[in-house]
Amino acid sequence: MIITKTPFRMSFFGGGTDMPDFFLKYGGSVLSTSFDKYCYVNVRHLPRFFSYTTELSYSKTERVTDIDAIEHPAIRNAMKYLDMHEIRLTYEADLPARSGLGTSSSFAVGMLSAFYALKGKYVDKRKLADDAIYLERKLCQEAGGWQDQIAASYGGFNRINFNVDGYEVVPVIISRDRKNQLNKNLLMFFTGFVRFSSDIQISNKLTTGDKISRLKEILTLVDDAEKVLTDGNRDLDEFGRLLDITWRLKRQTGTKVSTDHLDALYEKAINAGALGGKLLGAGGGGFFVFYVPLEKQDAVKWAMRDLMYVPFEFENGGTRIIHYTPENYVPII
């Protein structure tokens, strides 16, 4: 039996520039962190006492005798990709799926890690990220960028750069006290709306010069935000003001990024004292994160009292195996 624990991520700056149709032409970069909310994937070989050969438990239960009959596209394609058979898989998570936190990619990374471990193979974080990108973007043909799989695999507070040669993960050099202060100044709220990120990405696919121009502006803010974090002489509140700028640019990149209701919620937080914020992920719902000075946090929480407040802390571990019991599996010939 294998159990993996994989963090979710929040992306602050550069979202959208991790899409290949953008970064292969213009380069891309995101500033993001993983945090202490996780998904757990439990995998073992299914005992041969049942009429079915595969049992899956996620938001629904599937029991099948043929891998091609599996409805969940990521599980089906991953099992075929890694030649997995007679599997019992269970998925659990601290936060809801389709909420802008890279949940599907965290699941993909954790599942692949569990499958490799069940086969007795060690793979590093780079391989897991690469395989998860291949699984979601090529095998499952889901629209989206590359940042989620990388953040889930590596963990930590990073700048991830994208270009024609692929990507590089660069840890952000920030003092412990400054990082803790940033964490304290961020408040996260659940809007109650969930959606498929791939649907948002398809509707927002690059089509106009205006969108490309906005994404180029969004890309420049990654440098600005990183400098605020790494320069201890800079006012950390500048990070919040830059969040406001990047969100207002992001809203202009697609018709489904936000709605009138979400815009009203955002302005309510700003009027209560937040310096900036954004919807996490592709947009359309999920979680808001706001940068709020400590003295204004009670006012913002009150203004957003109809939403669920979700406290969190940054984490550095990335995906990990938290239980490993080898199995003596002999495939049926």
Q: What is the mean pLDDT of residues 171-176?
A: 96
What pLDDT is stored for residue 201 in this prediction?
A: 46
Interatomic CA distance for residues 164 and 16, integer angstroms: 16
- Domains of the chain, CATH where assigned: 2-171+316-324 (3.30.230.10), 176-313 (3.30.70.890)
Reported in sequence order, the residue ranges of 181-252 that DSSP labels E, i.e. its strands, are 186-190
Q: How far from chain centre, in Å, is Cα 33? A: 9
Cβ atoms < 10 Å from Cβ of 255: 12
Q: Using one digit for the tens of pLDDT, what is the confidence trace for 23-39?
A: 999 999 999 999 999 99
Residue 125 CB contacts under 8 Å (≥ 6 apart), including other chains: 153, 154, 318, 319
Token code pair at residue 15? 């979202």
What pLDDT is stored for residue 96 in this prediction?
A: 86
Mean model confidence pLDDT for the chain: 92
Interatomic CA distance for residues 208 and 89, integer angstroms: 43
**Model's pTM, two decimal places?**
0.92
Interatomic CA distance for residues 188 and 280, integer angstroms: 10
The torsion angles phi and psi of 164, rounded to 5 degrees, stand at: -65, -20
DSSP state of 182: H
Higher per-residue pLDDT: 161 or 199: 161
What pLDDT is stored for residue 282 in this prediction?
A: 60
For CA atoms 218, 219, 224, 229, give the dihedral sign. Answer: positive
Nearest residue to 109 via CA among 86, 90, 126, 84: 126
Q: Using one digit for the tens of pLDDT, what is the confidence trace for 209-223?
A: 788 999 999 999 999
**Would the pLDDT of 295 be above 70?**
yes
Higher per-residue pLDDT: 31 or 259: 31
What pLDDT is stored for residue 205 in this prediction?
A: 53
Q: Report the half-sphere exposure of 161 (CA within 13 A, side-chain side).
A: 11
Q: What is the mean pLDDT of residues 315-328?
A: 94
What pLDDT is stored for residue 126 in this prediction?
A: 98
